[in-house]
Amino acid sequence: MHPFYGPLIYISQEKSSMKSKILNLFALLLLYPLSACLAQDDAPTATPTPLPAPLTLKSQVKLNDSDHRHFPRAPKTGPEGKVLRVDVDDHIARGLFVDNLTSPEAVSLIQGYNQGETKSDQYSWHTLNAKDYCHFHNGDSDWYGWRTGPDFHWVYSHSGLVWTHDHFADRWLYYDRGCWWWQGEDKAHPIQVYLEDGHYYACDATGVLGANLGTTGAEEVVTKPIVKETPSTPRDEDNPAAHAGMGGTGLGGGMKSY
C-alpha cells in the first residue's frame, strides 16, 4: 500500500465509527418514549376505591327527617374550667373528631363515662385520644360536642350511631365508617352519601359511588335557597351493635331548632 493512503484509510474508518455511534444514539432516543409507553401499559391500572357498603337501617332505628330537635347550647366553660366563648355551628361536622368519637375503643370509654352522668342538663368534659369532647345529657338524650376555634359542633346519639342534621335539606344523617349517610323514601336513591363537596351522591349496596344528585337535578328538596359551601376540613364498624352505649332518643335543650 502506498504510504500516502494509510492515513486516509484510518481517517475514513474513524469517521465511519463516529457516524455509527451517532446513529446508534439517535435510535436509542427514538426508542426510549416507545419503551416508556410499553412499560406504562404493563403497569397495573389504578381503580377507584369504593365507599364502604352502606349500612341499611331498620325503620325503628332511623331518625325521621320530620323529627325536629334542638341543638344544645354550647358549654359555658371548657375542659379546664375556663370561660368558653364559642357559637354553635349548624354545618355538618366533619374531620377526624367524628371518627374519634365513633371508634369502638372510644365507644367503650364513653359508655363507662355516661353511667355516672345522668343528671339532666349536665355538661361533662372528657379526653379521647388527646382530644377533648363534651357530653351533654338531657332526659334520655345524649349529645357529644367539641370546639374548633370560635365554633362548637354537636352530634346526636341515637340507636348506637351518631347523627347530624342537614338543615338545608331537612334531613337526619347518620355516620358510619368515615361518611355521612342518608336513608329516605326516595325509591330511586334510597341510600345516599353526603360528600365533602356539599352534595348527595347515589350509592349502591356494595358502596360503588353513583351520580352527583346535585348535577342530575335529583338532589334534596329544600324550602330555602341553598348556598353550598366547600368544607375547609377533610374527612368504624358497620355493625350498629359496635356503638352500643351511645344511644338516646330524647330532646336536647336548646339553641337552634330544625
pLDDT per position as a tens digit, 94-136: 777 888 888 888 888 898 898 899 899 999 999 988 889 999 9
**Chain-centroid distance, C-alpha 58:** 24
Span 196-210, average pLDDT: 87
Helix ranges restricted to H, the chain: 5-42, 96-102, 104-114
Looking at residue 96, what is its pLDDT?
78
How many angstroms separate the Cα of 111 from the Cα of each of 105, 107, 138, 160, 161? 10, 6, 16, 11, 13
Span 34-47, average pLDDT: 41
Q: Kindly state the helix (H) or strand (E) to which residue 146 belongs, with its residue range.
A: strand 141-148
Span 71-92, average pLDDT: 93
Span 212-241, average pLDDT: 48
Evaluated on CA atoms 137, 142, 143, 144, the torsion sign reads positive
Looking at residue 154, what is its pLDDT?
95
pLDDT per position as a tens digit, 151-199: 999 999 999 899 999 988 889 999 998 899 999 877 778 899 999 888 8
Q: 50, 193 in Cβ contact below 8 A?
A: no
Nearest to 55 by CA among 156, 213, 178, 218: 178
Looking at residue 40, what is its pLDDT?
42
Looking at residue 165, what is its pLDDT?
92
Beta strands in 184-228 (DSSP E): 191-194, 200-203, 209-212
Q: 256, 68 in Cβ contact below 8 A?
A: no
Burial code (b: 16+ CB inside 10 Å, e: under 16) for 119-137 equals: eeeebbbbebeeeebbbbb
The residues, ordered by sequence, that sit 6+ positions from 218 with a Cβ below 8 Å of its Cβ are 186, 188, 189, 211
Q: How confident is the model at residue 217 (pLDDT cuts 50, 70, 90)?
A: low
Grid cell 455509527 in the structure block, residue: 20
All three cell numbers of 90, joined, read 349548624
Tally Cβ neighbours within 10 Å of residue 240: 18
Looking at residue 108, what is its pLDDT?
86
Looking at residue 214, what is its pLDDT?
76
Span 132-148, average pLDDT: 92
Q: How confident is the model at residue 12 (pLDDT cuts 50, 70, 90)?
A: very low
